[in-house]
Structure 1
Amino acid sequence: MKAFLYESQNARVKFGVGFLKEVGNELKELGGKRALVIATPEQRELANEVATLLGDLCAGIYTEAIQHVPRESIGQSMHVVQELQIDSFVPVGGGSSIGLAKALALETSFPILAIPTTYAGSEMTPVWGITENGQKKTGKNMIVKPKTVIYDPNLTVTLPPSLTVTSGMNAIAHCAEGLYAENANPVISIMAEEGIRAVSSCLPRILENPEDMDARSEALYGTWMGGTVLGSVGMALHHKLCHVLGGNYKLQHSETHTVILPYAIWYNSTYAPEAMARIARAIGSEVDDVAGAIFDLSKSLGVAVSLKEIGMKKEDLDEAAVIATRNPYYNPRPIDGSAIRSLLEYAFIGERPVQGRTL
């Protein structure tokens, strides 16, 4: 066995149907007395419900969270934090709400109690991302990692089918890249494989029966695995490409992850054989067709499988390839500019990765 380093990260997780009602007790455990509930405009009703459950512990509601956390949105919300004398944050929703809470925690060091309603997994990580001047910058700081996470499968029932699928594929992406991370280790690899198995197997069941709480619980369980992987080890090419495409071209976050994932795996397939074997086992595919099988899964679930479908312009592909290769993340296969440009071309068209052939 290869030598490795494993570091555990403290986290309190309450997982179960109906656990939203515990939010007040959990905030008290963190010492929060004047919480700001954070959400997107679409989650305003749920934000109000959480505020009601918190009662006197809620000092205000902010429902203007925006995806990719633009720098200007942080300044606007910091005025609210100061005016209301906030001492803690309760983001409700997906990566936009939790991302804004993290940015505010980076400024204030106030604790976060996260209530996720999607399968993105940001709630389990110390990773923050802020978009400024058209560039998305990311970093790690334990201050921004939520101290407590409440997973209540009831909260995912109203998630639109397309977002259910794409945020689930986002969770799978965290797991897949964790398997070939520079600092991968046996413990996290077990969690990554289990996360892929859980999410990939339950997404079709959720679409077939949106009221299937066992399937929704399984999806959140896989999300927890994926988020833990994302927060424990480094990411690689897939995440770099998604940060570039989302931050620079304003593509929707989870849709971008869904489109790019099979092509990033295709790019790395022959350079990470152990990771490919684990992914294949988790999704029940042939080892030399892992990328194609993930593409097929997305397509079978009725979501976009090309950059063109989600708003990317063909004339921007050259620039995107240059930006993505300028300051590359670690990746098992060396980053080659022409190969990355080819990857983006395939992803733009939405052509299925070729079985048994390297990109």
Structure 2
Amino acid sequence: MSLSFTHETLPQRVVFLPDANQRVAEEVARLGARPMVIGTKADAVLPDAPHYRDVVMHVPVEVAERARGFAVENDADVLVSVGGGSATGLAKAVALTTGLPIVAVPTTYAGSEATNVWGLTKNGRKTTGVDERVLPRTVVYDANRTLSLPVDLSVASGLNALAHCVDSMWAPRTDPINQALALEGVRALSAGLPQVVAAPEGIEGREQTLYGAYLAAVAFASAGSGLHHKICHVLGGMFNLPHAQTHAVVLPYVLVLNGPAVPESERRLNDAFGPEGLHGLRERVGAPRALRDYGLREADIPAAAAAILAVVPESNPVPVTTEILTDLLHRAWAGEEPK
């Protein structure tokens, strides 16, 4: 079979090593002299720099405006995000209007640090976009920084990364390169997450999970946002559901819906997951089960289905209807088996 595709690789410097405090300072100095640190638990990072700590999930517009004002007041010339997707997302919101470069120091497996996607929430609606200004110039990965992430949040965050991989297999701009990255991401995450659960203080499992999360995010940045992410962005923006847990719950339902329509991609995913598959992995790590556990009401489902239908990618492997979305959301709300 002949190959025909266009692939774009985002320009980014990645530093992966343990005990990276000094390296963070060095990477910041490559880009600026007046850093501003964004994060709720970032006191040990550049302690003499001004710290902005008002980090809120889904990046409300008013929080972004305050952070932008803080950057101007402190004459910042480089942003340093320390934390999960919310901290990275807030740094991106500041960079979107100021053009300031970002050094990202992730403490979860969210993957936002490896994408040029920004998101802002206003009046219950989450808007996302793509802009080169928000792509962190440098990412410093230090698995030791994930040790404080509790096991249940590690599991949810790691499954969020798996969702990046799965969505990348059939997203609007998917190609053989980001599919290869996604499949290696699935392999690494499937190996790392059970180790995190079995030995939370161990570093090897967290390194594998962090490595897989990076590959997942690179694949997702290239392939674009598929049905899974459209569903989760609507649920997060409309009902303020927690980001990682929502992705962790929804993932198997979208995989069961789309997989049979793309049998080769489904086969390659099954090979990457290994004999246990996604179901077995979720059982081993105690994955989140039901959206009702995180604040979604059954009465919210019709409005959610209508909002999701409006943003379903045309290239989704399966035609999607209101009925299909309603059934999927009901099952995910109740924690029933995917069908």
Q: What range is the shorter-chain TM-score in?
A: over 0.9
Tell me which residue corresponds to 1:71.
61
The C-alpha deviation readout for 1:305-328, integer Å capped at 9, x for no partner, is: 111112210110111101110232
Aligned residue type for 2:334: I
Aligned residue type for 1:26: E
Tell me which residue corresponds to 2:52.
62
Further displaced range: 90-99 or 270-279: 270-279
Alignment of 1:1-359 (within 5 A): 1-30=2-31, 32-40=32-40, 43=41, 47-52=42-47, 55=48, 58=49, 60-285=50-275, 293-330=277-314, 331-353=316-338, 359=339
Tell me the SS of whatever aligns to 1:49.
coil
Taking only the aligned residue pairs, the percentage that are identical comes to 40
Tell me which residue corresponds to 1:356.
none
1:285: how far off? 4.0
Aligned residue type for 1:312: L
Tell me the SS of whatever aligns to 2:292.
coil
Tell me the SS of whatever aligns to 1:312.
coil
Counterpart Cα distance in 2 of 1:74 and 1:188: 31
TM-score, scaled relative to structure 2: 0.96
Counterpart Cα distance in 1 of 2:195 and 2:8: 35
Asked whether the equivalents of residues 122 and 227 of structure 1 are also in contact (C-alpha less than 8 Å), the reply is yes
Counterpart Cα distance in 2 of 1:20 and 1:254: 26
Aligned residue type for 2:14: V
Tell me the SS of whatever aligns to 1:308.
helix
Counterpart Cα distance in 2 of 1:254 and 1:319: 21
Counterpart Cα distance in 1 of 2:291 and 2:242: 11
Aligned residue type for 1:162: D
Tell me the SS of whatever aligns to 1:276.
helix
Counterpart Cα distance in 1 of 2:334 and 2:280: 15
Gaps of 5+ in 1: 287-292, 354-358
Report how many residues are paired.
337
Aligned residue type for 1:38: I
1:251: how far off? 0.5
Further displaced range: 91-100 or 306-315: 306-315
Asked whether the equivalents of residues 25 and 46 of structure 2 are also in contact (C-alpha less than 8 Å), the reply is no
1:329: how far off? 2.7
1:296: how far off? 4.1
The C-alpha deviation readout for 1:223-278, integer Å capped at 9, x for no partner, is: 11011112111121100000011110010000000000000111112222222111
The C-alpha deviation readout for 1:264-300, integer Å capped at 9, x for no partner, is: 11111222222211110011148xxxxxx42442243
Asked whether the equivalents of residues 107 and 145 of structure 2 are also in contact (C-alpha less than 8 Å), the reply is yes
1:219: how far off? 0.9
Aligned residue type for 1:302: G
RMSD of aligned C-alpha atoms?
Answer: 1.3
Tell me the SS of whatever aligns to 2:312.
coil
